[in-house]
């Protein structure tokens, strides 16, 4: 379980997170929605230990990661898989080597043939069989996202973070990636935390949705609860209306 309590972060005068409190249950898919530039990625980077909060706590099970540094933090990160917004594939490696990389570096007990088999299996699971020899800049945006998902899952992590995994893709690919995530979640039962603003598609895959607005979580609940929420901020956001409490700036 991940528990976030009163998380606060400011960059200069700009207060991005003003007291985020959220619980993510083990094994669920939690999707955090909110406006572009509203602090979703900043929130996620705190969960990954890439940013230090000004105030607040983050517990991963019973470990407060805001207190951790160096190897102690790495021990928590070893339970993570992360899909970055742009994929963050290593551009000097082929797709195959990108996916095999965490196995080669972190699972030192595995032999080359086992690494090859596992990587091929993961490539097949994300529909990239036969594309392993290509470099990231030789494949399409959708394929890059799939490769990034495969790399995040190859070590079979307990918790997987997705930072807007479908940004910049066409609607068909968005659905394909979402279904892939659901299939893989069903198979591996990881805890998933995703930030996204793919409305309404995310309501089909999320088990719970949290709305981040003005630096706080304004509401958390099952997709149906969020969709029927009386909160005008949520209604304006999911309907994409220009008029309302959210100012289009």
Partner 1 sequence: MNRGPTATLLRPVESLGRFSLDVVESLGRFGLFLGQAAVWIFIPPFKVLQLLQRIHFIGFRSLSIIVLTGAFTGMVLGLQVFITLSRFGSEAFLGPAVALSLIRELGPVLAALMVTGRAGSALTAEIGIMRITEQIDALTVMALNPMRYLIVPVIVAGLLTFPLMTAIFDVVGIYGGFLVGVKLLGLSQGTYFGEMQTFVDMTDIMTGFWKSLSFGVIVTWVCAYKGYHTGHGAEGVSRATTEAVVLSSVLILVWDYFLGSVLP
Binding residues for partner 1 (CB under 8 A): 45, 48-50, 74-75, 77-78, 80, 82, 84-86, 88-91, 101-102, 105-106
CB-wise, 45 or 134, nearer to partner 1?
45
CB-wise, 136 or 208, nearer to partner 1?
136
Cβ 27 to partner 1, closest distance in Å? 21
| 141-153 vs 112-125: helix crossing angle, rounded to 10 | 130
CB-wise, 35 or 144, nearer to partner 1?
144
CA-to-CA separations, 129 to 49, 94, 121, in angstroms, rounded = 33, 13, 8
CB-wise, 151 or 208, nearer to partner 1?
151
CB-wise, 57 or 77, nearer to partner 1?
77
Cβ 157 to partner 1, closest distance in Å? 10
Cβ 238 to partner 1, closest distance in Å? 28
d(CA 66, CA 8): 12
CB-wise, 52 or 90, nearer to partner 1?
90
CB-wise, 84 or 237, nearer to partner 1?
84
User: Which of 122, 75, 63 lies closest to 96, judged by CA?
Assistant: 122
Q: Are strands 191-195 and 159-163 parallel, antiparallel or unpaired?
A: parallel
Cβ 108 to partner 1, closest distance in Å? 8
Cβ 77 to partner 1, closest distance in Å? 4
Residues in the chain: 249
Count of other CB atoms within 10 angstroms of residue 22: 21
Cβ 150 to partner 1, closest distance in Å? 13
Cβ 29 to partner 1, closest distance in Å? 19
- 123 token code pair: 């490539």
- 109 token code pair: 């007990």
């Amino acid at each position: 379980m991940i528990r976030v309590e009163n998380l606060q972060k400011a960059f200069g005068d700009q207060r991005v997170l003003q007291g985020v409190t959220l619980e993510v249950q083990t094994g669920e898919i939690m999707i955090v929605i909110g406006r572009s530039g509203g602090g979703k990625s900043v929130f996620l980077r705190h969960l990954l230990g890439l940013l230090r909060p000004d105030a607040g706590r983050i517990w991963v099970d019973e470990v407060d990661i805001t207190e951790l540094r160096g190897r102690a933090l790495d021990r928590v990160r070893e339970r993570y898989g992360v899909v970055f917004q742009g994929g963050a594939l290593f551009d000097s490696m082929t797709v195959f080597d990108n996916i095999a990389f965490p196995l080669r570096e972190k699972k030192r007990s595995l032999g080359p043939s086992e690494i090859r088999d596992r990587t091929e299996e993961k490539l097949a699971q994300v529909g990239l069989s036969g594309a392993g020899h290509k470099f990231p800049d030789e494949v399409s945006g959708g394929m890059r996202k799939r490769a990034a998902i495969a790399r995040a899952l190859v070590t079979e992590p307990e918790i997987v973070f997705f930072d807007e995994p479908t940004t910049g893709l066409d609607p068909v690919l968005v659905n394909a990636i979402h279904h892939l995530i659901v299939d893989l979640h069903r198979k591996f039962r990881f805890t998933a935390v995703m930030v996204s603003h793919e409305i309404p598609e995310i309501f089909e895959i999320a088990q719970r949705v949290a709305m981040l607005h003005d630096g706080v979580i304004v509401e958390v609940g099952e997709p149906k609860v969020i969709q029927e929420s009386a909160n005008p901020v949520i209604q304006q956001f999911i309907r994409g209306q220009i008029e309302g409490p959210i100012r289009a700036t």
